[in-house]
Structure 1
């Protein structure tokens, strides 16, 4: 799929510019793919990087990569990411790893939320993704 034919990443001059995300994403004539919140579990169900946000974030993005591949797409097709962190002040750590995966020229829309805790106490991050396919 030529993503550029179906998805427009928009950053209106009338809105404040965000670092590393698009303010608006318009997708037409596509199938929407919703990826459940991914946590730092490896294929054996073991937590990766207990206490290490960078290691957990890397595992989360690898899990998202596998989910995207299962739907026959990749990170170029991601139009929205939602981050849940137990410490939002560490978002720069997350962004540095996220930037290894996403299309930096047309980054997806994004939201980040600090939460008191996730499904397991050892987890520091969870990420949901929405992708599209023509």
Structure 2
């Protein structure tokens, strides 16, 4: 049985999808961008601030599912410029203990929704 997860503490979906789906204690979180859920503003002026907003959006969805970053087993990071990798990686890494970091890939793509610089999706197990 699947359970749809949507929280007002993360941005509402901008298409035909949900923030996350929980199936058999596995949480599949849709890609999050740096959209502030309170104001609707995109944060694009600084890659570290942008990445923090993405991670805060993911955190809100995890919390709505009674999980934390410790439950995350897989992340996918999509970036528009590999030159930003170091700063994104540092910011992302600050949300995990080194030994608890999930499996991950980081992929440079030609373009992301709303022309953001970073989008991150996750899979977590409860």
Query: Structure 2: how far apart are the matches of 1:125 and 1:95?
Result: 11
Give, in whole Å, the separation in 2 of the partners of 1:81 and 1:103.
15
Higher Cα Rg: structure 1 or 2? Answer: 1
8 Å CA contact 1:75–1:103 kept in 2: the answer is no
Question: Which residue of the partner structure matches residue 41 of structure 2?
Answer: 46
Q: TM-score, normalised by structure 1?
A: 0.72
CA distance, structure 1, for counterparts of residue 34 and residue 86 of structure 2:
18
Distance in 2 between the 1:75 and 1:106 partners? 9
TM-score (norm 2): 0.77
Query: Could you tell me how far apart the structure 2 residues matched to 1:118 and 1:53 are?
Result: 14
| Alignment of structure 1 residues 9-48 onto 2, 5 Å | 31-43=25-37, 44-48=39-43
Of structures 1 and 2, the one scoring higher in RCO (CA 8 A, sep 6+) is 1
2-side partners of 1:87 and 1:67: how far apart?
Answer: 26
From the two aligned structures, give the one with the greater helix fraction: 2
State the aligned residue count.
102
Q: Assess if the C-alpha contact under 8 Å between 1:82 and 1:129 holds in 2.
A: yes
CA distance in 1, matches of 2:109, 2:45: 16
Query: Contact 1:51–1:124 (CA<8 Å) still a contact in 2?
Result: no
Counterpart of 2:114 in structure 1 is 120
Runs (4+) off by over 6 Å:
none
Residues 22-76 of structure 1 deviation map (CA, whole Å, 9 limit, x = unaligned): xxxxxxxx6110110000000122101x242111101000000001000000000
Task: Determine which of 103, 106, 112 is the counterpart of 2:100.
Answer: 106
> Structure 1: 5+ residue runs without aligned partners?
1-29
